[in-house]
Structure 1
Amino acid sequence: MNISTYCFTATALTLATFSTNAKINVTDDISLSGFGSTSITQSDNATPLYVNREITDDTCYDCDTIFGLQGDIRFNDSFNASVQVVKRPQDEWSSPELEWAYLGYNISDFSLKVGRLRLPLFLSSEYYYVGQSYTSARPPQEVYNSVLGITSYDGISGTWDIEINDESYLTLTPYVGIESKGEVDIGATNYDFDIEKTLGFKSEISGFDYRVMFNYAHFKYAVDVTTPLGSQKLAADSINIYTLGAEYSLEQWIITTEVLVDTMHFNWYSSLAYNMDKFTPYVTYAESHHSQKNNSLLLGVRYDLTTTVSLNAEWKYTDANGGNNGELLKNPTDGDLDAQLYTVMVNFIF
């Protein structure tokens, strides 16, 4: 394995937040890092595509725009704190979101976090908004967009790191959330979530060239729905979400697959990437079932300008197969349930 392939594999399999080469050390114990993405994208369907992005057949220059800052403080060998603020695609520049803000405690092979934390539902959850850290321009939307962009919770988590052998590690992370809020706009409809309870458990086994992750999460919630015709408060409900993900590298190949299952979804994708020095072509096939029937094929290539800046060029075909609207956000006026999506994106970290 050459050095460029090794670096690509290490980034794809083990990056938790940012490259250590990118952060700015303010002092020995305080660091600042940042990340961002922006794109030129267009669909061939006039009906908006993707929650929180709403891409149409008009060329869009800010549908994917993300900018984030993270500050980390190490008080001593045991206590640390971290804050991350993100201007997400759905946010105005004047109102970014506090994605996480927590106090951490580490002792031996155990770590504890208290505060606002990232929901660990997927392989890329910890660095969901850091486009530089994954191969494609966006994480596969059939899986990652199925939770409507809700990516954090307020509560506590504990993680045990267990060494299985010299090459394999097991991490176990139970987590509990207190009451928190979430808001999603889908077209002209606003969903205001009151998440009363969050319970979950994540486990992951990893080695030099692989990761296998399983997560279970239980949410109890109520939701207020506001449309141009008025507001309605829906009865409290609960949902159990199961996710399974695996990533494996073989020489220059990277194979990734993830599955999400709950009462409304059975969604999955598989992706294959091949690293050739600075170029990484990739292909992803995905399907959605139950409440949102859809399948899609994505072809793309990533080019690493430097270790901190990358470019993506992608084409995606998505088809609802006559089941609801698929990835489209509303009923198309012309009945066209498929779309081709073109994207050129730049990602960076510092």
Structure 2
Amino acid sequence: MKTASTLLGIILLSPVVSAQIHLGEQLRLSGFGTLSATRSDSKVPVFVHREIADAWCFDCDTTLGLQLDWLINNRWRASVQAVKRPQDHLSDPELEWAYVESAWGAYSAKVGRLRLPLFMMSEYNYVSVAYPWIRPAHDVYDSLLGITHYDGASFEWNKAVSDASQLRLSTFMAVPGDNDYRLYDTNYTLAADAAFGFTADWYQEENQYRLTYITSEANLAAYNTNIDHYDLDLFAFGINYSLAHYHVFSEFIYDRTLYANWYLGVARQFGPWQPYVQYGQRRKLNHNESYLLGLRYNITANVALNAEWQYITSQENMINGHFTRIQNPMGDIETEVEVFSAAISFTF
């Protein structure tokens, strides 16, 4: 708690909150972070990689990231981003991306470690100040259990359709790789084969529409034993729509055997204040419904405060909802949980 308070004071008093750091004409350093206090009313933890339970937690959402961009020349650039995600120790951050990009005319290509472009907010998944709520919608963004990047290459084409609209088409390929995670008190490894995908984005004034398709195969292992095989054909669709002071967000992810998950969120701007609501549900692999009420206050364009209440209801099964523990069928099974959160998020 003392460490979080000290860090918060440094952030608020630092001049880098409102300005990026330019290291010469070609280098730029930027960053972002989130600090929170959160708890639930259940002894069974919820949310993969966050493990929020019935005691106040001051590091369940802690996120700190640094990004270095190098503009090599008019055609070439490089970028590196390291993030202390909620599941990481501060001394062991994750390399979220590290790539070289070449751009010519309406085309560009990237090679290296890249952000998986499955969702609307994939490019800024850990930048809480970039969206109304504290965390991306769990019903959709937890579908991949924290897999947010890949090693491979992408090719992109941009076309101005009119003065107010733009079309962006991109294709990407990921090399085979392993992803480790912990869930239900068990360490798992998801070994994915080469993956291929396609993304289409249409921008119209302040609105965005995205369609993504990814195909791959993967084996799930635990205790050095393969326990499942997946033939993945993932489809995702999202919208970010603005109408006067209202902002509407919605995303849907589908796989014929694993997912039929979606959410709908609405935020309304009143000067620096932004109340918001969100509803989501998951079907197929998991079954639950979630309701979210929140209020955001923008201290500056780069710093925001949030307060949230979330209610989740699920079926009476040993494995259910967003709970991260297998529950005892001989006892009382938790099927409902309320989560209370307050956070400050920032960029520089």
Q: Taking structure 1 as the reference length, what is the TM-score of the superposition? A: 0.91
- Paired residue secondary structure (2:323): coil
Instruction: Note the alpha carbon deviations across 1:5-44, whole angstroms, 9 max, x for none.
Output: xxxxxxxxxxxxxx99642111111000011111100010
Partner of 2:236: 243
**1:43 partner letter:** S
Counterpart residue number, 1:8:
none
Match of 1:329 in 2: 324
- Secondary structure of the residue aligned to 2:33 is strand
User: How many correspondences in the alignment?
Assistant: 328
2:269 equivalent to 1:271 = no
Matched, 1:196 2:189: no
Secondary structure at 1:28's aligned position in 2?
coil
CA contact (8 A) 1:82 1:101 kept: yes
The amino acid of 1:108's aligned partner reads: G
How far off its partner does 1:273 sit?
A: 0.4
Structure 1: gaps spanning 5 or more residues: 1-18
Kept in 1, the 8 Å contact 2:44–2:324? The answer is: yes
* Cα distance in 2 between the residues matched to 1:22 and 1:196: 41
Partner of 2:11: none
Matched, 1:280 2:274: yes
Contact 1:209 1:250 in 2 (8 A): no
The answer to whether the 8 Å contact 2:17/2:303 transfers is no
Name 1:134's counterpart in structure 2.
131
Look up the equivalent residue of 1:47 and give its one-letter code: V
Residue pair 2:221, 2:228 contacting (<8 A) in 1 also: no
Find out whether 1:338 has 2:336 as its counterpart: yes
Please give the alpha-carbon distance, in whole angstroms, between the structure 2 residues aligned to 1:144 and 1:326.
14
Q: 1:118 aligns with which of 100, 107, 115?
A: 115
Contact 1:211/1:247 (<8 A) preserved = yes
Give the Å deviation of 1:283. Answer: 0.2
CA drift at 1:97: 0.6
Partner of 2:251: 258
State the secondary structure of the residue aligned to 1:164: strand
Deviation for aligned residue 1:288: 0.6
In structure 2, how many angstroms separate the alpha carbons of the residues matched to 1:96 and 1:82? 16
Within 2, Cα distance between the matches of 1:32 and 1:39?
24
Give the Å deviation of 1:235.
Answer: 5.5
Contact 2:36 2:343 in 1 (8 A): yes
Contact 1:259 1:268 in 2 (8 A): yes
Deviations 1:128-186 (A, max 9, x none): 01111111000100000111000000000011001111111000010001122211111
Supply the RMSD in Å over aligned alpha carbons. 1.5
Q: Distance in 1 between matches of 2:98 and 2:155?
A: 15
**Structure 2 equivalent of residue 62 of structure 1:** 59
Distance in 1 (alpha carbons) for counterparts of 2:327 and 2:247: 36
- Aligned pairs for 1:3-82 within 5 A: 22-82=19-79
Structure 2: which amino acid aligns with 1:339? V
CA distance in 1, matches of 2:90, 2:216: 30
The residue aligned with 1:309 is 303
What are the ranges of 5 or more consecutive residues in structure 2 without an aligned counterpart? Answer: 1-15
The percentage of counterpart residues that share the same residue type is 37
Given that residues 17 and 347 in structure 2 are in contact (C-alpha distance below 8 angstroms), is that contact kept between their aligned partners in structure 1?
no
CA distance in structure 1 between the partners assigned to 2:17 and 2:77 by the alignment: 17
Determine helix, strand or coil for the equivalent of 1:132.
Answer: helix
**1:176 partner amino acid:** M
C-alpha separation in 1, matches of 2:300 and 2:206? 23
Q: Distance in 2 between matches of 1:49 and 1:292?
A: 14
- Aligned equivalents of 2:152, 2:144: Cα separation in 1: 19
